[in-house]
């Protein structure tokens, strides 16, 4: 998804603003009680993608462009190279490959407040936008749209597909879900 949207962004330039936000599937699907929150778990919590969330926010602290480079590298590490992105060594390697300052990255990943952004973004997504899954696109003119693409569109297809999705979201608010079995 990150690679596809980056292609669209490159074609549309400044007319499209991408604001990447965090959303935890483990939190939204949790049966651990109403007071349990993934972002309050200890640094060594084994699930929920917490290492990847911490890594993404550590990258963001080095600048938005750096975050985007890391985000795409992380996506590729997981989906193309099949690396375990819960493994700290893999995250550090991905950060180095994306050009991040290694020492700062590690320091920021261990900041106890690093998951504040996850708490803020997730809560806003659920309470305000009613997001239930990922990936979800949020269009300023018409709210959130859950989307799953497979395979990732080719470069030639990227912008036309994005424009079709945007048109459906904008012009057809009564369409709540489209699924292909």
pLDDT digits (tens, 9 = 90+) for 85-129: 999 999 999 999 999 999 999 999 999 999 999 999 999 999 998
Task: Please report whether residue 156 resides in a domain.
Answer: yes
CA nearest neighbour of 65 among 4, 115, 18: 18
* In-domain check, residue 179: no
Q: Is residue 110 part of a domain?
A: yes
pLDDT digits (tens, 9 = 90+) for 121-161: 999 999 998 899 988 998 887 667 888 888 889 999 999 99
Is 177 within the bounds of a domain?
no
Quick check: 74 pLDDT over 80?
Answer: yes
Nearest CA-CA partner of 98 in 75, 80, 117, 116: 75
Domain interval for residue 26: 2-171
What domain count does the chain have?
A: 1
Residue 178 lies in a domain: no
> What's 61's domain CATH number?
3.40.30
| 180 within some domain | no
Cα 171 to its chain centre, rounded Å, is 26
């Amino acid at each position: 998804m990150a690679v596809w949207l980056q292609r669209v962004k490159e074609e549309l330039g400044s007319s499209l603003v991408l604001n990447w936000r965090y959303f935890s599937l483990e939190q939204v699907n949790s049966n651990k009680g109403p007071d349990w929150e993934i972002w309050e778990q200890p640094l060594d919590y084994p699930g929920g993608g917490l290492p990847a969330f911490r890594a993404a926010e550590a990258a963001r602290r080095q600048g938005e462009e750096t975050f985007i480079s890391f985000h795409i590298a992380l996506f590729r590490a997981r989906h193309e190279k099949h690396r375990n992105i819960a493994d700290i060594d893999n995250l550090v390697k991905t950060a180095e490959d994306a050009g991040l300052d290694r020492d700062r990255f590690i320091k920021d990943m261990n900041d106890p407040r690093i998951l504040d952004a996850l708490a803020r973004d997730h809560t806003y997504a659920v309470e305000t936008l009613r997001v239930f899954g990922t990936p979800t696109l949020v269009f300023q003119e018409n709210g959130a749209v859950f989307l799953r693409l497979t395979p990732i569109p080719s470069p030639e297809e990227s912008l036309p597909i994005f424009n079709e999705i945007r048109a459906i979201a904008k012009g057809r608010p009564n369409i709540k879900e489209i699924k292909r079995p």
